[in-house]
Every structure is written in C-alpha cells, then in structure tokens.
Chain A
Amino acid sequence: DAGVIQSPRHEVTEMGQEVTLRCKPISGHDYLFWYRQTMMRGLELLIYFNNNVPIDDSGMPEDRFSAKMPNASFSTLKIQPSEPRDSAVYFCASSLFPFTGGVGGETQYFGPGTRLLVL
C-alpha cells in the first residue's frame, strides 16, 4: 500500500489567497483526520470523518477553514482567505474502523504533510 498521500507537499501563497490541500487515505480505512502542527500549539486535530461524513469539526479554527470528503478515497482542506497565522504543517491521517486500539495496536497512519507558508 502506498500509505496516506498528500498534495501538495509544499505551498507558498500570499495572504488572502485560497489554499486547497488534498489527501488520499489508505484504501479501506474508514476514518480520515486532518491535523495542523505548529511549534507553538503542537499537533492539533482540526476535523475527522467517518465513512465520508464529518464527525467532529470542533478543532477547525474559524469559518475560513472548510473540509470535504466527497468519496472514500479523497478529502480536501480549504482555507479561504488564507492568513499568515495559518502557516503550519498540515497532516492527513487515516485509520480502520473500529478504532478500538485493541491488540495489534491499530492506530492512525499519517501522510507526509503539506508545509504551508502564507506571506
């Protein structure tokens, strides 16, 4: 399996521009998670999906952020308009359901991340 795939790997944009980050989860995984990582705040959960349905978006910082999962193999995280404080590494992760953390240690598998810089 190719693992979780994210694109682009790097994005540099100017304040006010729209940014779209993309993720392809591991085939067969029912859960998809979007995280943001910064030095100040660490790794924060933004939103996660189960079977393409958003379950918890309480971590989405504000209305400028939106996420969709139109099918089991694709998700997007959009920032519109972008601001310099959105600069971070954005990770997508996927996992199997049920995610019970039982024997075998099933957990989330992370993609390589997208490094976003908003000037």
Chain B
Amino acid sequence: QKEVEQNSGPLSVPEGAIASLNCTYSDRVSQSFFWYRQYSGKSPELIMSIYSNGDKEDGRFTAQLNKASQYVSLLIRDSQPSDSATYLCAVLAGTALIFGKGTTLSVSS
C-alpha cells in the first residue's frame, strides 16, 4: 500500500525563522509531489509542486525533492504568523493523490 509519512508536529518556530517540513513516501515510481496548506476549518490549497530532483523556489517557499531517498521537504523562509497552518504532503499515484496526515506549523510573533 502506498504511504506518505509526515511528522505530525506541532512544529513551533518564531517569526522570521525558517520552518522545515519533511515528508517521505513509499512508492518509488511516483513522479509528482505537492504541498498543500490547510488552515483550521478550511479546505486544502496547493502551494507548491515539484517533479524533478533538486530545489524549486517560489517566493518564501522552497520545495526540495530527492527521489533516490524518497524524500520531499518544504522550507518556509521568514516565517510569518499567517503561515500557521497544517501542511499536507501529497504524492501522485496514477491519477490519484495520496496525502500524508500533515504537519501542524505554529509561528509565534
């Protein structure tokens, strides 16, 4: 069974710090990876996608992928209180996304 694992947290960082969120997956053939952000009581929203090994940067967010290690991460630079949310890692398996249970991030001002 395909699995996506995340540390549930909570991960607490002070405002302005770098938050590092990690995810591992079991399906070696997976080629597409996504990070979703979910605010409390809201639906998940896509914030990053990555398909190739290495880093992908978008504003304060950087996604990192290492297919050999089956590992994907999300770095949030200059963390803001508005970044406080649950971050879901998702892996594309065929035409369906498999989600991790999410890591809760808390950014204190």
Is A101 within 8 A of B96, CB to CB? no
B107 adjacent to chain A (CB < 8 Å):
no
Q: Could you give, for residues 73-98 of chain A, a 1 whenever the CB lies within 8 Å of some chain B CB and a 0 otherwise?
A: 00000000000000000010000010
- Pick out which of these stretches binds chain A: B16-24, B39-47, B64-72, B74-82: B39-47
CB of A112 within 8 A of CB of B92, answer no
* Contact (Cβ within 8 A) A101 B51: yes
A42 touches B96 (CB 8 A): no
| Given A42-B100, A101-B49, A55-B44 contact (CB < 8 Å) | no
Interface size class of B (residues with CB under 8 A): 20 to 34
Q: Which residues of A contact B25 (CB under 8 A)?
A: none
A110 CA to B42 CA, complexed, in Å? 10
Distance in Å: Cβ of B66 to nearest Cβ of chain A: 18
With contacts A45-B97, A101-B49 taken as known, whether A110 is within 8 angstroms of B44 at the C-beta atoms is yes
- CA A45 – CA B44 in complex, angstroms? 14
B94 to chain A, nearest CB (A): 8
| Residue pair B43, A108 in contact (C-beta under 8 Å) | no
Shortest CB distance B106–A (Å): 17
Q: Are A101 and B43 in contact (CB-based, < 8 A)?
A: no
A positions within 8 Å CB-CB of B: 31, 33, 41-45, 48, 50, 55-56, 91, 97, 99-102, 105, 107-113
Please list the residues of chain B having a beta carbon within 8 angstroms of any beta carbon in chain A.
Answer: 31-32, 34, 42-46, 48-49, 51, 88, 92, 95-102
